[in-house]
Structure 1
Amino acid sequence: MIRQASATAIAVGCAALWTGAAFGQQTAIQLDPIILSGGLTPAEAATYARAYTVVTAAEIEARGITTVQDALRSVPGVAVSGAGRDFTQVRIRGGEANHTLVLIDGVPAGAGDGEYSFSGLETANIERIEVLRGPQSTFYGSNASSGVINIVTKKGTTPGVRYGGEVEVGNGYAGALHGSARTERGGLSFNFSGRDDRGYDYSGDGGEKDGIERGSLGLAGDWRATEDLKFGFTVRGARERSDFDSTNWTPVDAASYVVDDPNQRADRRELTGELYGEYAMLDGRLNHRLAWTHSELDRKTTGSDWTDQKTDAFKYRASYGLDGAAEQARHLVNFLAEHHRDSSSANPDYDRDATSLALEYRGSLSFGLDVQAGLRHDFNSVFKDATTWTLGLSYLVPNTPLRLHGSAGTGSVNPTYYELYAKDAWTDGNPNLTPERNRSFDFGVEASFLDGRGVVDVTYFNERLKNEIAYVTDPVTWKGTYVNRDGDSPRQGVEVSGSLALTPDTDLRLSYTYLDAKEADGRIEVRRPKHELSLGATQRFLEGRASVSADLRYVAGNHDDQFWGAYARAKLPNYAVVDLAGTYDLTENLQLFGRVDNLFDKDYSDVWGYAAPGITGALGLRANW
């Protein structure tokens, strides 16, 4: 097992406990009334037409959630599947994992192309996670066909110095630090997290544990040179090492497919960053923003060389308020011009770039109707040019606690480098692949009750994927390639979310997804459960100084391919998992926390052959000033 990060994690965590200041009852933090990733500029949550979920830092801490992928498991419309902890896929509304764009502080995390594997991504220094469901390609381009996940880190938004951190011990060790200093002219912030997770045996054979070591460092700053001119930057780096097990080429069942292998290692390096400048003119009515973003993702496994993927983008955005300053206008027009280039060391002769133009209108009408509309055209160097559009409507029904919302739009996803140009013992790429196209609509009703103490939202969605890319194998040579399927791949379902402040000290929460996702030939799509239900409760006591949270997650109707016997697509067993977490404020600035995951030690799997972790627990201390 790998252990190099242990000392660092402990040292950082202990330093956090003795250097700093105020909890200030973090459970009282109010949700910001905007969705940062809701369009070309932030959108008001109360009038946003698309289905979305925001997971806050307060909720993450109260529920004892340690990784982003675990935070996403209770979000409606989102399916999370892990082949061990070093490879976790996230799918929205039945789309593929590479149909969801992942942003960290607004910068794409999956460099080059393809999907972003969440792996050991920490929640320790995350302020909020925004999940937008449905096509977002009009605002974000390719790979945002099913939705967007924007992970926002802590930066400090109030004047003064803020700092803190936490340390944890359980199935390994972890520590984190964060700090910020801000004046009226600008500020600087940093965050660090480190974890040595001893893991568990992915094969389920009782062999060596497969662990993960991960460390990440983030820096951000902004400076207002004049009243109208602002500059800023953000940069984040991460390094990870993980163990994993091998697969058996001659299995006879799920138990024999994944075999314990103490010699398998994976390494991963991430780098994301942005430099930007913003200039306001015409008394704030016209705002300009010019930015450069960079994403880099390097990976290797035992016996292989590093594969380096990069994406660079230059973006210009103009925002014009038709009836006043852009940030307060009831009618706003946004324009975006963007140029980006992707590259991969695995296929160095096939760099590709695109130039994109996008236009967005947002308007609030006097009779309670809010409109968001957008249009984008991508001039692609490799593929046929693409045009995508979106339209969203939100209507607050007069004299009722109801809000109606609906949206429609299209998305696109370009083939990956591997799908196009692979050349190895198992796969020959197909350079004739065309981009996948998604058409979508949804409509929903949001209702508040009990004087606003409760809220429930029910949304129906319908999507059709055209040109779905699928892997096919020659039955004689067993060598595979990728093809565009004929016909449409339909997916539809219902998303339900709800919350209730039952008493001043008791909060209840609910999330449910029904999904019917099929390939063009009628087969059920893999790793997209038909039913996912999450129920949770948080009870505060001792005048708010202590809390206990319990969460139940039930998954049913999940299918996956079996690589043995008839090599058929088969249904995985249904399962239910219960997690517990608790906090206790030792002082105004110091908090004790603990959790137990998989309380009843349930044996389950999201992917055929890969075991899920059994019961684990942890204790820690958290400090804030």
Structure 2
Amino acid sequence: MFYKTALLGAVAFGASLSALAQTDTAEETKLDTITVNGSRLDQTLTEIGSSVSLITNEDLDELGVDFALDAVATAPGVTVNQNGAFGGNASVRIRGASSDQTLVLIDGVPVNDPTGTGGGYNFAYLDTDNIERIEVLKGPQSTLWGSDAIGGVVSITTKQPSEGLTGSVFGEYGSFNTLRGGAAISNASETGDFRIAATGLTTDGISKADEDNGNTEDDAYESQTVSAKGGLNLPNSVRLETSILWSDTESEYDSYSGSAQGNVADGDEVSNSETLTGYVTLKAPLFDGLLDNLVQIGYSDIERENVSNGAQSYLTEGDRVLYRYQGTLNINDANKLAFGAEREETSANDQDSAIDSLFALYEYKPVETLTLTGGVRIDDHDGFGSETTGRAAAAWNATDQLIVRASWAQGFKAPSIFQSTYICTFCGLTAPNPNLKPETSEAFDIGVEWRSADQRLMLGATVFDQETDNLIDFSFTAGYDNIAFVESQGIELVGAYSLTEWLNVSANYTYIDAEDGDGNELSRLPENSANVTLSLDPEGPFAGSVIVRHNGEEANTNGTDLDSWTRLDLTGRYDINEKVELYGRIENLFDEDYQQILGYGTPGTSGSLGIRLRF
């Protein structure tokens, strides 16, 4: 029944997009040159068989958003939830998988929080100004990236240094007394390159607990981010690279209240978070480029503190250290082999764990139009033993206009340090659950993508199915235990059309049917979601976009339903000259009153104006 519904939906959506869709013609003709970093084989968009959504720096400019969370939310198959705007805890779910099952990489380094209950990543603080692009790889990616990639991967690439000495400064002011600004300087030459950037944001914010429920106290937010990246070009095409990203945030939030909607109401609570991420990488080709070698040490650290009524109520600190080697053997035009080893050491609150991994990926192109990819990975966890995961994918360029993709993959996620060491004393337990096992998943997807001969129209559809076993959740009999099974299936539809050389429209729609083993609908997950973007870029100094985002009805954790909502945003940019740009954004133009999570408010009509100087 599901596949019949999905097929009918694809036909209906495709028919409607013949009048409503978008593409950037110049960009789409370069599909065979756009490399997907998350593939680990440097595959292009015409070669990768996995389903991936790419959000470029140009897309970020068009969206005009301050936080990566709002950009990722526009990708098909992605669901975001945030406990109130401006610093509220924010999660990203891919195709119905838990947010703790989304692995986040920044320049290839895992940054998931090792101190969190499930080891997920909080998207609340990540500013977009330092981001070059975001890749959303959907479905299990454990063969590529190991534990935590059981539901998908969000791979973030930071901005690269520009050729010659360049720089920029920007500042903006908006609703809720919001100030945001930053500066960057970079240089690149034959010898090497560097880029240094800093951004900051401060706002009075709005009440985290919904103002409609009588919560009138605004919850402020402020953050600072500093980044540095550099590279040195050595003899024989050897390159040494390093990067560091530091951020510090302070976010006010509201208190638990058992009698209030969503159990949240005004209160004097503050969350402080400091994060540090960095890496050192050596790239060394051998045998005239036949074998590319990468050696990398990566590091991420997080410290979180909660303050309640002026007194510290919670403090936690953890870090990850990654040791990675990858060799890529370019055998010939038809065969490529990537292989490597990794060790990841994780600590949280004086508890440690480690995983040793070996992986191999093979790409075979029997003909120019067909790319087959297979891989296997063995992860050996010091507390939970070995897990082997495999994957297979195919991309067939059936014609110059039609691409067919298919993939099958397995995933696994080792229990977090918190889950594996937690002792539920009020449950009468005296030790952690000794029978806890890793979560595992298996999934497949099949998709088609068609482009018109003139490259103006693009239509695509992907059907997916994923099962997750041994899902970990809290249990009063064991603390944390493998007590759940989840099946998620659905369809993603995308379309794009260039109405004129300067007027484009794009759209995507996602249907997700996700249930646990008892047939219960998963909470905080809409069955239906969609995004539409109308882009205007006529000749001249002005460019702008109209962005519509729809989130369907979804179940709350208390058994009630959260209403669907639709929001419309406007963005605009005006180039005074080559060095000076004015830009602005209006969010929630029609003042939609909605919640992402029960009890938590969202901003009404609001906006900002800014100026950017380049030199």
Q: Is the 8 A contact 1:27 1:58 kept in 2?
A: no
**Structure 2 residue 537 is matched with structure 1 residue 540:** yes
Amino acid at match of 1:283: D
How far does the alpha carbon of each residue in 1:446-485 deviate from its partner, in whole angstroms, 9 at most, with x for none? 00025111212210000000001123458xxxxx932212
Q: Is the 8 A contact 1:506 1:537 kept in 2?
A: yes
Q: TM-score, normalised by structure 1?
A: 0.88
Partner of 1:176: 182
Partner of 1:51: 51
Q: Measure, in 2, the Cα distance between the counterparts of 1:621 and 1:298.
A: 33
Partner of 2:330: 321
**Structure 2 residue 409 is matched with structure 1 residue 404:** no
1:500/1:426 CA distance change after superposition, 3 Å: farther
**Structure 2 residue 273 is matched with structure 1 residue 275:** no
Partner of 1:7: none
How much has 1:196 moved relative to structure 2? 0.6
Partner of 1:131: 136
Instruction: Select which of 521, 525, 540 maps to 1:524.
Output: 521
Partner of 1:494: 491
SS of the residue corresponding to residue 95 of structure 1 reads coil
Q: Is the 8 A contact 1:35 1:130 kept in 2?
A: no
Partner of 1:610: 600
Amino acid at match of 2:480: Y
Amino acid at match of 1:369: L
SS of the residue corresponding to residue 275 of structure 2 reads strand
How much has 1:358 moved relative to structure 2? 0.1
Instruction: Select which of 275, 279, 285 maps to 2:290.
Output: 285
How much has 1:384 moved relative to structure 2? 2.5
SS of the residue corresponding to residue 385 of structure 1 reads strand
Q: Is the 8 A contact 2:583 2:611 kept in 1?
A: yes
Instruction: Select which of 465, 469, 472 maps to 1:469.
Output: 472
Q: Is the 8 A contact 1:125 1:176 kept in 2?
A: no
1:425/1:576 CA distance change after superposition, 3 Å: farther
**Structure 2 residue 579 is matched with structure 1 residue 573:** no
Q: Measure, in 1, the Cα distance between the counterparts of 2:565 and 2:114.
A: 36
SS of the residue corresponding to residue 419 of structure 1 reads helix
Partner of 2:609: 619
Partner of 2:256: 247
Q: Measure, in 1, the Cα distance between the counterparts of 2:133 and 2:39.
A: 17
Q: Is the 8 A contact 2:25 2:455 kept in 1?
A: no
1:29/1:184 CA distance change after superposition, 3 Å: farther
Q: Measure, in 1, the Cα distance between the counterparts of 2:417 and 2:523.
A: 22
Amino acid at match of 2:45: A
Structure 1 unaligned blocks of 5 or more: 1-25, 324-328, 475-479, 563-568
SS of the residue corresponding to residue 65 of structure 2 reads coil
Partner of 2:166: 162
How much has 1:417 moved relative to structure 2? 2.1
How much has 1:29 moved relative to structure 2? 7.9
How much has 1:369 moved relative to structure 2? 0.9
Percent of pairs with identical residues: 28
How much has 1:220 moved relative to structure 2? 0.9
Amino acid at match of 1:183: S
SS of the residue corresponding to residue 264 of structure 1 reads strand
**Structure 2 residue 246 is matched with structure 1 residue 237:** yes
1:27/1:426 CA distance change after superposition, 3 Å: farther
**Structure 2 residue 89 is matched with structure 1 residue 87:** yes
How much has 1:271 moved relative to structure 2? 0.6
How far does the alpha carbon of each residue in 1:404-443 deviate from its partner, in whole angstroms, 9 at most, with x for none? 0000010011112222223478787534321100100000
Q: TM-score, normalised by structure 2?
A: 0.89
1:201/1:593 CA distance change after superposition, 3 Å: same
Instruction: Select which of 546, 556, 559 maps to 2:555.
Output: 559
Q: Is the 8 A contact 2:202 2:222 kept in 1?
A: yes
Q: Measure, in 1, the Cα distance between the counterparts of 2:79 and 2:376.
A: 29
Q: Is the 8 A contact 1:288 1:316 kept in 2?
A: yes
Partner of 2:8: none
SS of the residue corresponding to residue 165 of structure 2 reads strand
Q: Is the 8 A contact 2:208 2:254 kept in 1?
A: yes
Matches within 5 A, 1:41-80: 41-80=41-80
1:288/1:208 CA distance change after superposition, 3 Å: same
Partner of 2:378: 377
How much has 1:392 moved relative to structure 2? 0.6
Instruction: Select which of 131, 150, 158 maps to 1:153.
Output: 158
How much has 1:249 moved relative to structure 2? 2.3
**Structure 2 residue 118 is matched with structure 1 residue 120:** no
Q: Measure, in 1, the Cα distance between the counterparts of 2:374 and 2:426.
A: 44
SS of the residue corresponding to residue 351 of structure 1 reads strand
Partner of 2:5: none
Instruction: Select which of 192, 195, 201 maps to 2:201.
Output: 195
1:431/1:577 CA distance change after superposition, 3 Å: farther
How much has 1:365 moved relative to structure 2? 2.6
How much has 1:513 moved relative to structure 2? 0.6
Amino acid at match of 1:332: K
Q: Is the 8 A contact 1:34 1:42 kept in 2?
A: no
1:250/1:418 CA distance change after superposition, 3 Å: farther
Q: Is the 8 A contact 1:106 1:150 kept in 2?
A: yes
Q: Is the 8 A contact 1:155 1:190 kept in 2?
A: no
Q: Measure, in 1, the Cα distance between the counterparts of 2:424 and 2:181.
A: 41
Q: Is the 8 A contact 2:422 2:480 kept in 1?
A: no
How much has 1:305 moved relative to structure 2? 4.4
Q: Measure, in 2, the Cα distance between the counterparts of 1:533 and 1:358.
A: 36
Partner of 1:363: 364
**Structure 2 residue 420 is matched with structure 1 residue 420:** yes
How far does the alpha carbon of each residue in 1:2-21 deviate from its partner, in whole angstroms, 9 at most, with x for none? xxxxxxxxxxxxxxxxxxxx
RMSD of Structure 2 on Structure 1 (CA): 2.0
How much has 1:584 moved relative to structure 2? 0.9
Q: Measure, in 2, the Cα distance between the counterparts of 1:432 and 1:47.
A: 42
Partner of 1:391: 392
How much has 1:109 moved relative to structure 2? 1.5
Q: Measure, in 2, the Cα distance between the counterparts of 1:273 and 1:341.
A: 15
Matches within 5 A, 1:504-515: 504-515=501-512
Q: Measure, in 2, the Cα distance between the counterparts of 1:274 and 1:29.
A: 31
Partner of 1:3: none
Amino acid at match of 2:130: N
Q: Measure, in 1, the Cα distance between the counterparts of 2:405 and 2:27.
A: 26
Q: Measure, in 2, the Cα distance between the counterparts of 1:386 and 1:304.
A: 38
How far does the alpha carbon of each residue in 1:376-426 deviate from its partner, in whole angstroms, 9 at most, with x for none? 00111100310011111000113x521100000100111122222234787
Partner of 2:345: 341
**Structure 2 residue 432 is matched with structure 1 residue 442:** no
**Structure 2 residue 315 is matched with structure 1 residue 312:** no
SS of the residue corresponding to residue 143 of structure 2 reads helix
Q: Is the 8 A contact 1:375 1:389 kept in 2?
A: yes
Q: Is the 8 A contact 1:110 1:297 kept in 2?
A: no
Q: Is the 8 A contact 1:27 1:59 kept in 2?
A: no
Partner of 1:101: 103
Amino acid at match of 2:571: A
Q: Measure, in 1, the Cα distance between the counterparts of 2:26 and 2:204.
A: 34
Q: Measure, in 2, the Cα distance between the counterparts of 1:27 and 1:165.
A: 31
**Structure 2 residue 230 is matched with structure 1 residue 221:** yes
How far does the alpha carbon of each residue in 1:112-152 deviate from its partner, in whole angstroms, 9 at most, with x for none? 26001011211122111111111111111001111111111
How far does the alpha carbon of each residue in 1:177-227 deviate from its partner, in whole angstroms, 9 at most, with x for none? 122111113211112111112221111234111121111111111111102
